[in-house]
Amino acid sequence: MSAKSHIIILPRREENLIAIVRCDCRVDSNNEVMNKIVKAVTKWVENTTEGSQHWKLSSCDFNIADLSSVMLYSRDEAFRSLSPFLIEEGIYNLKIDIFGDADSPSNYTYDTVLVEGL
């Protein structure tokens, strides 16, 4: 099976934040992709100084935003030490974007009809 492109949207329930995770992986479902990311990050935390430090810095709450921060600094030692674990799990070209909207309109939703009066 060749690698498939995946796009995963992870909403944050307490705030108007979403993470969009993009990668290539040889699995069918986004749940399988996230399971592989969790395995890779767990191995990174367990087996590297950088991973252990980031785990502690996150107050043992390393989440997608923390991973996004590591990904931003791709020349950083933390990212370089994480990459082999992602590759080992079959995760390639991982990109994470975090979007937030503090001024989200409360009376508009995904299903809001955008035509008036007809």
Question: What pLDDT, in 10s, does the model give residues 75-109?
Answer: 678 788 999 999 999 999 999 998 887 666 566 67
Cα gap 97→69, rounded to integer Å: 10
DSSP summary character for residue 118: -
Residue with tokens 């508009």: 108
Predicted confidence band of residue 71 (pLDDT cuts 50, 70, 90):
confident
Tell me phi and psi for residue 77, to 5 degrees.
-60, -35
Element (H, E) at 36: helix 30-47
Q: How many CA atoms lie within 13 A of 80 on its CB side?
A: 3
**Which residues on adjacent β-strands are paired with residue 7?**
22
- SS3 at position 105: coil
Span 41-57, average pLDDT: 94
Torsion angle defined by CA atoms of residues 34, 45, 89 and 74, in that order, rounded to the nearest 10 degrees:
90
Instruction: Tally Cβ neighbours within 10 Å of residue 48.
Output: 18
More confident residue, 42 or 14: 42
CA 78 from chain centre, in angstroms, equals: 16
Strand boundaries in the chain, DSSP class E: 4-12, 17-25, 92-100
Would you say the pTM of this structure is higher than 0.95? Answer: no
